[in-house]
Amino acid sequence: MTAPLVFIDGDQGTTGLQIQDRLRGRGDLRLLTLPEAERRDPAHRAQALNQCDIALLCLPDAAACDAVAMVRNPAVRLIDASSAHRTTPGWVYGLPELCPGQPARIAAATRISNPGCYPTGALLLLRPLVDAGLLPAELPLAIHAVSGYSGGGKARIAEVQAGGAAPFLAYGLGLDHKHVPEIAQHAGLQARPIFLPSYGSFAQGIVLTIPLHLDALPGRPDAAALQAALAAHHAGQAHVQLQPLATAADAVTLDPTALNGSDSIRLQVLHHPGHRQAVLAAVFDNLGKGAAGAAVQNLDLVLGALALRAAA
């Protein structure tokens, strides 16, 4: 069997380069690359997109939509790392840990939308609690997140490297960030959450936190119930590390760079029993589980399905 041909459209961007690093030296696939002079040429890109078995789109949203329109070969499978198709009907959401059966849906799909970096953390904390009935879909939520400056793309990286960037930057204060519909839809929320993102002065990594008043939840559960729901949902998931339940006495701190270079995510419930308050927390690499690592995880699911089909 000839190894599947994989084309990364946008292989010189931050995510594209990270994916290349992860795929280098693998023998279960072949990488199709275009010479520098052909990378921006629509005709050559269209040829590559229709020639490959699997295309990973590491492009801005508009360019990703253009790339999808170029695909005429119905056998080509697409994994889109942009935010263009994350709530689009007909596209499978590429977060394998989202719910039971999601890996199989991804493996069988021809159109897969890679999740956003921030939504990855929010969803892996929220969806298990919504599904368990602990978190009502109509509950108003606030999500706070700090990312390394690489999350801002080439423009933000260049600004930092030129010495012109503030050490901390809160943004999305118009409360209309593009990640909000993605989080609401895939978490099963009816109330639009408030999402407050920011950039720190470090290169990569994310800390995302969601505060909760336990007495505002149905049945007034304790933090141990939240912990148990997360543990049940994420049991056996290779890329999810659930930390022990923690209180103020544990003096926990969250380092956004703790999992840099990893494709895993670390989840934790922190609480104060007396105050009946809790914080859901996620730490992960915005370029790993938040981008390139997630794309390769989805690619591996598709490759596995293709291998099974070829062996049948």
Q: Which two tokens stand for residue 66?
A: 């253009």
Tens-level pLDDT at each residue, the chain (312 residues) = 689 999 999 999 999 999 999 999 899 999 999 998 898 899 999 999 999 999 999 999 999 999 999 999 999 999 999 999 999 999 999 999 999 999 999 999 999 999 999 999 999 999 999 999 999 999 999 999 999 988 877 778 888 888 878 899 999 999 999 999 999 999 999 999 999 999 999 999 999 999 999 999 999 999 999 999 999 999 999 999 999 999 978 989 999 999 999 999 999 999 999 999 999 999 999 999 999 999 999 999 999 999 988 887
Nearby residues of 178 by Cβ (< 8 Å), 6 or more positions away:
83
- Cβ contact 273:72 at 8 Å: no
**CA distance linking residue 131 with residue 253, whole number of Å:** 28
Quote the longest CA-to-CA distance of the chain.
64
Q: How many CB atoms lie within 10 A of CB 274?
A: 8
pLDDT number for residue 134: 98
pLDDT number for residue 156: 82
pLDDT number for residue 278: 97
**CA distance linking residue 76 with residue 281, whole number of Å:** 37
pLDDT number for residue 100: 96
**CA distance linking residue 199 with residue 157, whole number of Å:** 11
Nearby residues of 203 by Cβ (< 8 Å), 6 or more positions away:
148, 149, 150
Q: How many CB atoms lie within 10 A of CB 111?
A: 17
- State the virtual CA torsion across 239, 245, 248, 252 in degrees, nearest 10: -20
- Cβ contact 171:200 at 8 Å: no
Instruction: Please indicate, yes or no, whether the overall pTM of this predicted structure exceeds 0.75.
Output: yes
pLDDT number for residue 164: 77
E strand segments, the chain: 5-9, 30-32, 54-57, 77-80, 92-93, 111-113, 142-147, 169-170, 194-199, 206-213, 240-242, 246-247, 265-272, 277-284
Q: Which residues are the active-site residues?
A: 117
Q: Within its chain, how far is the Cα of 87 from the centroid?
A: 14
Angle between helices 14-23 and 293-311 (to 10 degrees): 50
